[in-house]
């Protein structure tokens, strides 16, 4: 089973700054099967990115995804106040779904 | 607009059985190409995928839960269900149901339901 490790665990930034979140797989995976989610307190997660780099419907273009092989990145170009939340990467493989442990993006 | 709604007891006794149902509205559960899944989140922790089911009954489970887990579908009611036996405090969590759509992402989620395992 492939393990996803996200870093950092917590990221402290201010609105307007750039956020870079990392997701590392324990073995090479297809980028087609990497997704990113945002979860705000008390809410269900929502998908931001699928196929490693495609934005889901309605997601602002300040969110972007990149990467291949074992290393994937979610970038938020200019943080808005509503972006402070927890972010998870997700992998689909061998009919199973795996999540990373999450990165908490907090106000500095 | 597709909506999912979880329902079931909020409190389950240790060693008992946790049973939840997800009702799909605004669309058919029998649409080819989609799987319907369960995800849980223990208090203060991350997301854990539990399993998924297709309307044909094709099912996938998290390996560590497989011996205790049953996921079923009722197309006549547009529902799918989760049954987890021999529960312990470690099964206390918010349980979400969700649709697995294209690119294998969970693109539509229910609001979640809190299940506490306690006597």
- Asked if A45 and A100 count as a contact pair (C-beta separation under 8 A), the reply is no
Q: Any idea what the Cα angle at residue B59 is, between residues B53 and B64, rounded to 5°?
A: 110
Q: Single out the residue of B96, B29, B89, B52 nearest to residue A92, CA to CA.
A: B52
Closest approach of A39 to chain B, Cα-based (Å): 10
Q: Any idea what the Cα angle at residue A35 is, between residues B112 and B98, rounded to 5°?
A: 25
Given this model, what pLDDT does residue A84 score?
97
Smallest Cβ distance to B109: which of A45, A54, A102?
A: A45
Quick check: B103 pLDDT over 90? no
Instruction: Residue A29: list chain B partners with CB under 8 A.
Output: none
Name, in order, each residue with C-beta under 8 angstroms of B102's C-beta and a sequence gap of 6 or more.
A50, B33
Instruction: Residue B1: list chain A partners with CB under 8 A.
Output: none
CB contact under 8 A, B46 and A88: yes
CB contact under 8 A, A35 and B103: yes
What DSSP state is assigned to residue B83? E
Which token pair is B75?
């197309």
Element (H, E) at B114: strand B113-117
Q: Give the span between the Cα atoms of A101 and B46, in whole angstroms.
A: 6
Q: Single out the residue of B79, B81, B55 nearest to residue B70, CA to CA.
A: B81
Quick check: B62 pLDDT over 90? yes
CB contact under 8 A, A44 and B49: no
Q: Give the span between the Cα atoms of A101 and B100, in whole angstroms.
A: 20
pLDDT tens profile A47-91:
999 999 999 999 999 999 999 999 999 999 999 999 999 999 999
Name, in order, each residue with C-beta under 8 angstroms of A37's C-beta and a sequence gap of 6 or more.
A45, A46, A47, A48, A87, A88, A89, A90, B47, B106
Name, in order, each residue with C-beta under 8 angstroms of A58's C-beta and a sequence gap of 6 or more.
none
Q: Give the span between the Cα atoms of B81 and B74, in whole angstroms.
A: 8
pLDDT tens profile A18-45:
999 999 999 999 999 999 999 999 999 9
Quick check: B102 pLDDT over 90? no
């Amino acid at each position: 089973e492939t393990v996803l490790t996200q870093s950092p665990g917590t990221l402290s930034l201010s609105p307007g700054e750039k956020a870079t979140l990392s997701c590392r797989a324990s073995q090479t995976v297809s980028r087609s099967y990497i997704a990113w989610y945002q979860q705000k307190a008390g809410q269900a997660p929502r998908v931001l990115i699928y196929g490693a780099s495609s934005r889901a419907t309605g997601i602002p273009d300040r969110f972007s995804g990149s990467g291949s092989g074992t290393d994937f990145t979610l970038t938020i170009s200019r943080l808005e106040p509503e972006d402070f939340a927890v972010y998870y990467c997700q992998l689909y493989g061998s009919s199973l779904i795996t999540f990373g442990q999450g990165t908490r993006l907090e106000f500095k | 607009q597709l909506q999912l709604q979880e329902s079931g007891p909020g409190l389950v006794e240790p060693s008992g059985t946790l049973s939840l149902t997800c009702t799909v509205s605004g669309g058919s559960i029998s649409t080819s190409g989609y799987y319907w899944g369960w995800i849980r989140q223990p208090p203060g922790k991350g997301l854990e995928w539990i399993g998924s089911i297709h309307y044909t009954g094709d099912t996938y489970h998290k390996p560590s839960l497989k011996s205790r887990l049953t996921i079923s579908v009722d197309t006549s009611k547009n529902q799918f269900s989760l049954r987890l036996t021999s529960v312990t405090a470690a099964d206390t969590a918010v349980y979400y149901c969700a649709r697995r759509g294209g690119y294998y992402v969970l693109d539509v989620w229910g609001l979640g339901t809190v299940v506490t395992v306690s006597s």
